[in-house]
Structure 1
């Protein structure tokens, strides 16, 4: 039995309408994420793959799904529908939602250390200076790649904090889903319509 239901909003390519009609659900494929990012996709895919693996530990992932679907927890912070897109207004069982802090996601995307707090961030900057590292962005790509495997591990361990929400607001909290089921869709908003 499923418990509390939450409202989520997500802007998607309008081609998903066909998938929803044909399959009764929308799922994300890794190739869609790659197409979305274009030329810069290789830089981001390792972060997305990490997120997918870790999020699947929170909410089990269906076998045929390769990437989560990003959702807003509020209509105010949802991207509005533009040409070639629609917005799905959803009511989803809360246990199906993977909540995370989007501000912290930038650390994962940039493949840098995600500090616990400001004090931890200052300690980490001092630590980098002490070991002679000028730029914390270069452990995975750049001059330090492969030189500090223990540091790469420390950085990746810190990314778990993306799932820790310290300040719950509509601007930093997102809710990801593995799928959008037909029965969760309460409204489809087209370009020009009020969200």
Structure 2
């Protein structure tokens, strides 16, 4: 028998209608574009990478293209705001992917995820020798080897031996109506 876990997510209140009508909610491209506005292309690219990488650990349903972010404790959940709802969800533990929030921030910002402090020092020294930073290496066509190194380091998102911070967050592939234990508007 699988253990149950509780997680919390802040979503636009319109998903309550979707849940009522279909019994299920999945993140869609248009929702991300509406929420992230001018920054949506940045997120869509890293979300596509994330879905591909994370699906090795928890395979998504065939129609799922994007993750749904969740907090692992009520205290760490994002504060509610007008037009949104906080959903408390109870689901099987094996449906949840947990990651280091700082590592995810590095991925979103196209930064290197080091193995350890020594690895970070070596990486910083290399960048210093080139007179660049991670973002320059990643966003320009002039440093393909460094960009590849940065991209490969992103696999450490799922490696618990490399830790950047204490804050953890999770993703799930869908929200099923029967998983919801509480709704706060």
Show structure 1 runs of 4+ deviating over 6 A.
none
Return the offset for 1:81: 2.1
Give 1:116 shift. 1.4
Matched, 1:187 2:182: yes
Give the 3-state SS of the residue equivalent to 2:56 in structure 1: helix
CA distance in 1, matches of 2:85, 2:160: 28
Residue correspondence of structure 1 range 2-81 to structure 2 within 5 A = 2-81=1-80
- Secondary structure at the aligned position of 1:8 is classed as strand
Q: Is the 8 A contact 1:47 1:111 kept in 2?
A: no
Q: Distance in 1 between matches of 2:179 and 2:132?
A: 48
TM superposition shift of 1:76:
0.2
Q: CA RMSD, aligned part only? A: 1.8
TM-score, L = length of structure 2? 0.92
Contact persistence 1:101–1:164 (CA under 8 A): no
TM-score (norm 1): 0.88
Alignment length, in residue pairs? 184
In structure 2, C-alpha distance between the alignment counterparts of 1:47 and 1:139, rounded to whole Å: 17
Unpaired segments ≥5 residues, structure 1: 191-195
* 5+ long unaligned stretches in structure 2: none
Alignment correspondent of 2:137: 139
Tell me how far apart the structure 1 counterparts of residues 138 and 153 of structure 2 sit (CA, whole Å): 14
CA distance in 2, matches of 1:111, 1:83: 31
Paired residue secondary structure (2:157): helix
